[in-house]
Structure 1
């Protein structure tokens, strides 16, 4: 018969907890690093940029123009700066439990979708915004419940919507990158295309539509 002291059991439990926490940290670091790689491929990630600098960049841009930058607040990693009907606005991106979502404190909607990457998050809202802007559809009327632009709040009793339709590029994207986006929009079966493996690798390195 083997007996374990309470100190021994506590040590084992602490070790397990430490291992779990360590794995969680590694997962977070890996997820954020992957998100950063995707962002750097977009062309509309501006890195370290202040809110005022983002405002100047978006000045005179049409509604729906947007960019992503590093957040100036410690509790957040990234911020979306976008032109709305009321002028430029900034919306922080939360990261928790391995997922990214829009700042739920600011938004009207209580439940927000979560995503594995920042680019996937932006892609989702770009799709909703572009759908709502199609002829024949009213402002904010997407293809189903909970779709359409995200309401940010009211300005003079008029609801201000978050529209993301046109990225503001930090530099002119290459023709190859634009072609990659166009191909991604038309098919998800890149590996089945009659292309050299090197080109397939390039296409699958960035699988987004924006």
Structure 2
């Protein structure tokens, strides 16, 4: 065959079956697009770095874990309701309660507080609760004081990072004479909690 464009005999005899499109992984969350998707992905990474994000922990187990903790201790977990991403379970005087974190128009909401980062939102909630509790629609007052981490003992680097952020704030990092590697470590998780 000269200059032919036909396939060799062996390949042309091959039967090609239509391949169905792969199934999307099961998800109980709505689909996010563009910047909203990036925000949610970044938020999950930040929550995982926090040490107090417990993933798909059932409500009953979260409440059992918090039962023996101090009042105000909280953890973040996946919401058991499909139209919400996260829930915060908190040890209250009356026992553990869970509150959904709303995600609306690019912001995470916990009562009247909001932020584009769930860890920053919880940091704001802890600061606010030092003065006044958060009020729920049903009259329950929420007090958040400290997270329940998967690992209770922080590394020396984590303790130093928290101390630097507490004393200098996120805004003050640029002015500190610290090595680039340390600066990156602090900027990876620039939160007080």
Q: Residue in 1 aligned with 2:149?
A: 169
**Counterparts in 2 of 1:2-17, with a 5 A limit?**
none
Partner SS state of residue 81, structure 1: strand
**Pairwise CA distance, 1:153:** 5.8
| CA deviation profile, 1:163-185 (whole Å, cap 9, x unmatched) | 11021111133221122111101
Aligned partners of 2:94 and 2:156: how far apart in 1? 33
| CA deviation profile, 1:33-70 (whole Å, cap 9, x unmatched) | 11111111111111110001101110121210100011
Q: Residue in 1 aligned with 2:63?
A: 55
Normalization by structure 1: what TM-score?
A: 0.71
Q: Which runs of 4+ in 1 moved over 3 A?
A: none
* 1:84–1:160 CA contact under 8 A, matched in 2: no
Aligned partners of 1:58 and 1:129: how far apart in 2? 18
* 2:129–2:144 CA contact under 8 A, matched in 1: yes
Aligned partners of 1:175 and 1:160: how far apart in 2? 37
**Pairwise CA distance, 1:194:** 2.0
Aligned partners of 1:197 and 1:62: how far apart in 2? 38
Aligned partners of 1:179 and 1:63: how far apart in 2? 26
| CA deviation profile, 1:79-138 (whole Å, cap 9, x unmatched) | 000011211000000111111102x6xxxxxxx2321110111000101112x2xxxxxx
Provide the aligned C-alpha RMSD in A: 1.6
Q: Residue in 1 aligned with 2:100?
A: 92
Q: Which moved more, 1:183-192 or 1:50-59?
A: 183-192
Q: Residue in 1 aligned with 2:20?
A: none
**Pairwise CA distance, 1:160:** 3.4
